[in-house]
Amino acid sequence: MKILVPIKRVVDYNVKVRPKADESGVDLNNVKMAINPFCEIAVEEAVRLKEGGTATEIIAVTVGSSASQEQLRTALALGADRAILVETDIEVEPLAIAKLLKGVVEKESPDLVILGKQAIDGDNNQTSQMLAALTGYAQATFASELKIEGEKALVTREVDGGLQTISVNLPCIVSTDLRLNEPRYASLPNIMKAKQKPLDVIEAGSLGVDIEPRNKTLKVSPPPVREAGIIVETVDDLVDKLKNEAKVIT
Amino acid sequence: MSILVIAEHDNEEIKASTNNVVTAATNLEGDIHVLVAGSNCSGAKDQAAKISGVAKVLVADSAEYEHCLAENIADLIVAISADYSHILSPATTNGKNYMPRVSALLDVAQISDITAIESSDTFERPIYAGNCIATVQNSDSKKVITVRTTAFDAAQNDGSAEVVDLQESHNLGISEFIKEEIAESDRPELTSADVIISGGRGMQNGDNFKILESVADKLGAAIGASRAAVDSGFVPNDYQVGQTGKIVAPNLYIAVGISGAIQHLAGMKDSKVIVAINKDEDAPIFQVADYGLVADLFTAVPELDAKL
């Protein structure tokens, strides 16, 4: 079984991002970049399927500028066999990313595509579902458990009310939720080995799809600020404030 | 052109999130139609027809829509999409599942999780865990949108819409429902509760959530949790409040033993009043709390319980 794992380079999850002073965008000067946490979970799941004998090859792919090679190397260090960068300098939206990934799916014919449910920069939560639509494959989003059984995948999904289990035909698109696994750290020897693994670069234009943005960001502003609160000394004070000042309990 | 709202329901009842989306839709121009796709869903259909502001309810009542499988629902929505300028759903796990599929099939972008509508093509939405609010203008001919339900009040239920049965069958046959484990609870749902009490890593284990339950009973509150508490196995995933869990905005949010990571704050910082109980006075949760109590939760919570 061949697994394709699309990943994304994003701001590190510990960074508190702010808008630029002129509100023209997000201030990303000198911030630490990393592989999106949900994508790390996707890579880990693919590696476990390979370690368990289900998968034979793992291909990591990303759409972005040449700087994204850093995150592909991380995926290779975690256990992917080879990597593909679909290179573009424009800020591509989920629909465009899905169209480019469809091009990669057509070239590579994977049996399974695993990707993060959401990138923590745009918080869109769209790419996997869009890729499923464009390829005509089934989708199993927000996965907390994944089992391959013959020509089907049995996937437990995190839904609002609890958990839902579905069976989907392969090839299919799976998007990862937080509880699917706990990703490993790349070891130093594996980081060194990753430098020798193949990384192909494809020009986004060569895939012949429309990737022009459909959304224009007019401005990026800070969220409303909460007024600073107070520290109460005792539980009695707290109950009194909630009853008589905030009036949220009776 | 009209506006299509996709109802969130469990076949028997309409979920309040549908009413929130109808309110959002009233900010746009055009009749509001609501699609109820389910199986044996007459209960949900009747309730949908009562939502104020709705002109027409479209019902697709067929076995293949029972569990809201994205493949079938998306094909249904696309099949009836021609007359609509805007298609909206709540940003629930169902809406997040089928709406991007609809967008891609229509070859339009999706605008996720909107919190305000400026005009028919311009919307506000939080990005970077709510640390920035983006105002985006979409150029597609049809707008496919998921709505952050906490940003819009729920529409009332004193309407009487026309009901139309659809004869649409869409079963792609590539996915199949196997089972679900849905938590049964007498408490209000997290996303529509007036009061929420949430526990974090400081709760130490699942058993200790009992002390929150007692307070929740007295306040009629829902119980939530931080990611740390869910990852540690204290409580199930459906308790999680945060950037990638549930987004809540109750009148009162009580955070117990929660440090206040950016990702948790993203899910609750629009609550009207926030209370934090934590023994670490430097915990970031105190920066958003209206009332902070620096105390050991294992003494403070039982004391609070006794005094309510």
The pLDDT of residue A96: 98
Residue B124 host element (H or E): strand B122-127
Cα B278 from Cα B257, distance rounded (Å)? 5
Dump pLDDT digits (tens) for A77-123. Answer: 999 999 999 999 999 999 999 999 999 999 999 999 999 999 999 99
**Mutate which of B13, B73, B96, B118 to disrupt the A interface (most A C-beta within 10 Å)?**
B96
pLDDT at B183 over 90: no
What mean pLDDT is predicted for residues A148-152? Answer: 96
Chain A stretch 21-50, residues whose beta carbon is closer than 8 A to a beta carbon of chain B? 26, 38
B236: nearest CB among A123, A162, A164: A162
For A7, B67, B143, the CA distances from B104, given in Å and listed in that order, are 19, 21, 12
Dump pLDDT digits (tens) for B47-77. Answer: 999 999 999 999 999 999 999 999 999 999 9
User: Residue B74 in contact with residue B105, Cβ under 8 Å?
Assistant: yes
Confidence of residue B42 (pLDDT cuts 50, 70, 90): very high
Chain A stretch 190-209, residues whose beta carbon is closer than 8 A to a beta carbon of chain B? none
Q: How many CA atoms does the CB half-sphere of B203 hold within 13 Å?
A: 30
What angle is formed at CA A41 by the lines to CA A176 and CA A67, rounded to 5 degrees? 110
Residue with tokens 């009747």: B46
The pLDDT of residue A225: 85
Inspect the interface and report whether the beta carbons of A229 and B290 lie closer than 8 Å.
Answer: yes
How many cross-chain Cβ pairs, A to B, lie less than 8 Å apart? 259
pLDDT at B268 over 90: yes
pLDDT at B227 over 90: yes
Inspect the interface and report whether the beta carbons of A123 and B112 lie closer than 8 Å.
Answer: yes
Confidence of residue B244 (pLDDT cuts 50, 70, 90): confident
pTM recorded for the entire structure: 0.95
Tokens of B307: 């005094």
Residues of B whose CB is below 8 A from A139: 70-71, 97, 101, 175
- Chain B: give the shortest CA distance to residue A203, in Å: 22
Residue A173 host element (H or E): strand A172-176
What mean pLDDT is predicted for residues B141-154? Answer: 96
Cα B191 from Cα A137, distance rounded (Å)? 31
Three-state SS letters, A112-170: EEEEECCCCCCCCCCHHHHHHHHHCCEEEEEEEEEEEECCEEEEEEEECCEEEEEEEEC
A163: nearest CB among B109, B113, B180: B180
Q: What is the ipTM of this complex?
A: 0.95
The pLDDT of residue B66: 95
B110: nearest CB among A118, A126, A164: A126
Cα B304 from Cα B308, distance rounded (Å)? 6
A223: nearest CB among B126, B252, B308: B126
For A64, A68, A71, A137, B224, the CA distances from A194, given in Å and listed in that order, are 20, 15, 11, 31, 41
A39: β partners: none
Q: CB distance from A135 to chain B under 8 Å?
A: no
Dump pLDDT digits (tens) for B11-23. Answer: 999 999 999 999 9
Inspect the interface and report whether the beta carbons of A138 and B304 lie closer than 8 Å.
Answer: no
User: Residue B68 in contact with residue B98, Cβ under 8 Å?
Assistant: yes
Inspect the interface and report whether the beta carbons of A221 and B252 lie closer than 8 Å.
Answer: no
Inspect the interface and report whether the beta carbons of A139 and B300 lie closer than 8 Å.
Answer: no
Dump pLDDT digits (tens) for A184-223. Answer: 999 999 999 999 999 999 999 999 999 999 999 999 999 9
The pLDDT of residue A63: 98
Tokens of A8: 């994304």
Q: CB distance from A70 to chain B under 8 Å?
A: no
B145: β partners: B88, B111
Tokens of B281: 């006075």
pLDDT at B173 over 90: yes
Residues in chain A: 250
Inspect the interface and report whether the beta carbons of B292 and A141 lie closer than 8 Å.
Answer: no
Dump pLDDT digits (tens) for B99-139. Answer: 999 999 999 999 999 999 999 999 999 999 999 999 999 99
User: Residue B70 in contact with residue A159, Cβ under 8 Å?
Assistant: no
The pLDDT of residue B164: 97
User: Residue A128 in contact with residue A95, Cβ under 8 Å?
Assistant: no
